[in-house]
A and B are shown apart, each in its own frame.
Chain A
Amino acid sequence: MKYADEFRDPVAARGVLAAIARVTDEIGATKDKPVHIMEICGGHTHAIFRYGLDKLTPPGLEFIHGPGCPVCVLPMSRIDECVEIAERSGVIMTTFGDAMRVPGRRKSLIQAKADGADIRMVYSPLDALELARRNPDREVVFFGLGFETTTPSTALTILQAAADDQTNFSIFCNHITVPPPIKALLDDPHMVLDGFVGPGHVSMVIGIHPYDFIARDYGKPIVVAGFEPLDLLQSVLMVLEQIRDGRAEVENQYSRVVPDDGNPVSIAACTEVYEPRPSFEWRGLGEIDASGLRIRPKYAAFDAEVKFGIGYGLGPRAVADPDGCRCGDVMTGRIKPHACPQFGKGCTPEMPLGALMVSSEGACAAYYQYGGLRLEEAV
């Protein structure tokens, strides 16, 4: 157990691992007939690989890596639209660094920057707003993306811009929400999921009740989990115990950070600023109903789609992924990343072909980054 020694509390980790093995056995799951648990969040995917949790757990337990990396699911057409805005004269496009290398149909943001567009990386939407203050003769746009964890930050920034009457600032809104894709996955007849480990920081904002439908309507367990390896293992054990006992509940393993009802200030800001789009495209998954957010007409002055006439649904949509790219199959758990013909060949973290290779939270990048370590250990 090379990895287990790295745990803050290796003794506790060993205890939980033993319990996981026991309960997996009690369920009757085996390597050929495994129990499938999806970790939704890309941060969890990263932690599972970093700590080798999939190797420490029994062969009868299989992790399916979910769609919870916001950069990985950004559709190509949105990158194209972002580049189009960035190339307008007078515009300064600002973005989180993660989004720079996501491939678009024409080019990525990093290529657009090399070609002369004024694209700048910021740590926070607040820095984009500050940039607008300092450059009154320029139009500053922030490429807003992410799940419920970052959605409130963009909403609060819009509210601040509105209070300050900062008219040269707008958001290109690509915020998405976690529950709709889970519903889409559960509705997929090919999907074999037995339970979920839920993203802790998303629930820190929205609470745990948006997941009630998973237990109530689909009869599947979900446990909201923290990021420490021990948190993850404990949550997996809680899911397994529910499966063994025939229960389906929403449980909160991360209550030291996650209040069951979420964060009221964040929820209020998001409700004030955004409304759901009828549907939104997810790279590899397709269009999903009510899974994306747009800025309400009340704040249209800060909506880059309105300002630049580049709206969702105005341009051609559903751009096919490049040839040989299996991102969709990886994301729905049908294949493991290394089964993609492009893995490590046409597609690497330096030169990603598919979005799952872009951020350390993408399943393909995690496999790539920690793959060498594993092979080393296997010999």
Chain B
Amino acid sequence: MCLGIPGQIVEISDAARKLAIVEVMGVRRQVNVACILKDEPIEALIGAWSLIHVGFAMSRINEEEAALTLDILRQLGEAQEEIEAMRASERMLAS
């Protein structure tokens, strides 16, 4: 929950609500990108990497930093936990 996880923004899903689809370790989910938007059209975020905390993109990072952080999170066991929490939440909403 506290450490977050790096993800890459692949698509803008709701520009008005500042929502985008990120891909985290092969899993896609919708996140809020308000905190990383500067003076730019939201589409400019496509391709960017960010640290994702509980469904919110909180800080832009470069690809190298993303890979480094993912490695650490895997070793700490936190990456698997985050992905599982995302999947479980999705299943819960679908049920």
Q: Which residues of A contact B (CB under 8 A)?
A: 6, 8, 41-43, 46-47, 50, 69-71, 96-98, 120-127, 130-131, 134, 146-147, 149-150, 152-153, 156, 160, 199, 201, 204-205, 227-229, 256-258, 263, 265-266, 269, 360-361
Residues A50 and B75 in contact in the complex (CB < 8 Å), given A123-B55, A149-B4, A265-B37: yes
- Give the shortest distance, in Å, between B21 (CB) and chain A (any CB): 13
Task: Give which listed residue, A6, A8, A41, A122, contacts B2 with CB less than 8 A.
Answer: A41
* Chain B residues, Cβ within 8 Å of A126: 30-32, 55-56
CA distance A221 to B67 in the complex (A): 30
Query: What count of chain B residues pass the 8 Å CB interface test?
Result: 38
Q: Which residues of B contact A (CB under 8 A)?
A: 1-4, 17, 29-32, 34-37, 51, 53-56, 58-59, 61, 65, 68-69, 71-72, 75-78, 82, 85-86, 88-90, 92-93
Q: Cβ of B89 and Cβ of A149 under 8 Å apart?
A: no
* Chain A residues, Cβ within 8 Å of B3: 43, 201, 227
CA distance A176 to B32 in the complex (A): 22
* Chain B residues, Cβ within 8 Å of A6: 75
Q: Cβ of B2 and Cβ of A123 under 8 Å apart?
A: no
* Chain B residues, Cβ within 8 Å of A258: 59
Closest to B3 in A: A43
CA distance A131 to B69 in the complex (A): 31
* Chain B residues, Cβ within 8 Å of A134: 93
Q: Cβ of A263 and Cβ of B72 under 8 Å apart?
A: no
Task: Give which listed residue, A50, A201, A265, A361, contacts B53 with CB less than 8 A.
Answer: A201
Q: Cβ of B77 and Cβ of A228 under 8 Å apart?
A: no
Task: Give which listed residue, B37, B51, B75, B90, contacts A204 with CB less than 8 A.
Answer: B51
Q: Cβ of B93 and Cβ of A127 under 8 Å apart?
A: yes
Q: Cβ of A263 and Cβ of B59 under 8 Å apart?
A: yes
Q: Cβ of B69 and Cβ of A127 under 8 Å apart?
A: no
CA distance A123 to B76 in the complex (A): 19
Task: Give which listed residue, A8, A71, A121, A265, contacts B85 with CB less than 8 A.
Answer: A121
